Amino acid sequence: MHRPSFDFFDQPPLYPNEAFKAQQGLGMTSQRTRDRLIRRLIDLGITDETVLQAMRVVPRHAFLDEAMGSRAYEDTALPIGYGQTISQPIVVATMTQWLLADREQHPMQRVLEIGTGSGYQTAVLALLVKQLFSVERIAPLLFKAQAALQKLDLHNIEFNLNDGHWGWSSRAPFDGIISAAAPDKLPEELLGQLKEGGRLVMPIGQQEQLLYGYIKTSTGVKETCLGEVLFVPMKQGVEV
């Protein structure tokens, strides 16, 4: 993909609905502030304009406590409570871009997200895939994320309170799986829930983590390392 031209920013944001438009902020949450973040993502190698457009209109500040709102469009992870964080925007963009890289040959109709968290990554994905299934193990976080997502009038997301280790077998198979939690090793159960040609992107490891992309083929699994990352560990069980 080619680097987007700066004409990209001459066009007004393509809001998917009026609810998104109503959530746009002022000052440190304004479109100008958000566009500075998008320019940084481009400088760091994000070239998929559909991903950039989605991240341009999703109001990241709406998924943070008000006290953190002024930092919403910094390219950094931020706390959301319960020992969890909202992912760094470049990581969200990198994972999403990789997940969608082959969508002309293998459309992302059904995608599983492991770790709803704040709901920010969920909102970005919901604009880019047909049906999203999102799993979260911490009940208060899930309910808070659902409330934030409802304000954006998104209707293609189904939620499940679960720990994600076993995916979501009753909704499988999936065209793609994306995880915001790091297991020690690749869970075979998740690969089993992917369609042939499907993509899985997730961090692996505990003390030192690497982000991996996996493509399921008729002859096995193709693996790509996408760099160093830092995510919360994938834990078992739910917290209510």
Residues 6 or more apart whose CB falls under 8 angstroms from that of 194 comprise 173, 174, 175, 176, 177, 200, 216
End-to-end CA distance of the chain: 43
- pTM given for the model: 0.93
φ, ψ for residue 108, nearest 5 deg: -90, 80
| Beta strand pairing call for 194-204 and 209-217 | antiparallel
Residue extents of the structural domains in the chain: 79-233
DSSP 2: P
Local mean pLDDT, 10-residue blocks, the chain (240 residues): 66 86 81 91 94 94 91 94 93 97 90 96 97 96 96 95 88 96 90 95 92 94 93 86
Q: Which positions are catalytic?
A: 87
CATH top class, domain 79-233: alpha beta
